[in-house]
Amino acid sequence: MQQQRGFSLIELMIVLVILGLIAGIVGPQAMNYLGRGKSQSAKVQIENISAALDMYKLEVGNYPTASEGLKALVTAPSSAKGWNGPYLKKGGVPLDPWNNEYQYKRPGANGQPYDLLSYGADNTQGGEGDNADITLWNKQ
């Protein structure tokens, strides 16, 4: 008669514990990496929107007002003489990597003509890590 060999319960438990330890070490590192990727993506998008705002100013003569907002880059406001847009590709203002709208304020703080920022993962002002604000003038 042929004897069947298999794994004992102890051996299976040891393998599961080892896999759990590996997942516990690798998982948080992977999440940190993904979070940094979203922050970098937001910085690139902010720079692209800023370039579109500069083109708007060259053609219209001033930046969009706070009430016109970033939508002025896609649809001509009634007050924009010389508008030759849309200034953003893909037909709309992009959302930040956390699916929130970018914040546009005019005039900006600290003597800047405007502020352009993302509030990060928590979508509230301030924060650290993934929740930190990402701004045009103070890139982290």
| Element housing 134 (H / E) | strand 134-135
Determine the Cα–Cα distance for residues 50 and 116; give it in Å rounded to an integer. 8
Report whether pLDDT(17) > 70: yes
Reported as a single tens digit per residue, the pLDDT across 22-61 is 888 887 777 766 667 788 888 999 999 999 999 999 999 9
Q: In order of start, what are the domains of the chain with their CATH numbers? A: 41-135 (3.30.700.10)
Reported as a single tens digit per residue, the pLDDT across 87-103 is 888 778 999 999 999 99
Alpha-helix runs per DSSP H in the chain: 9-60
Reduced DSSP (H G I as helix, E B as strand, rest coil) percent helix, strand, coil of the chain, to 5 = 45, 5, 50
Q: pTM for the complete prediction?
A: 0.71
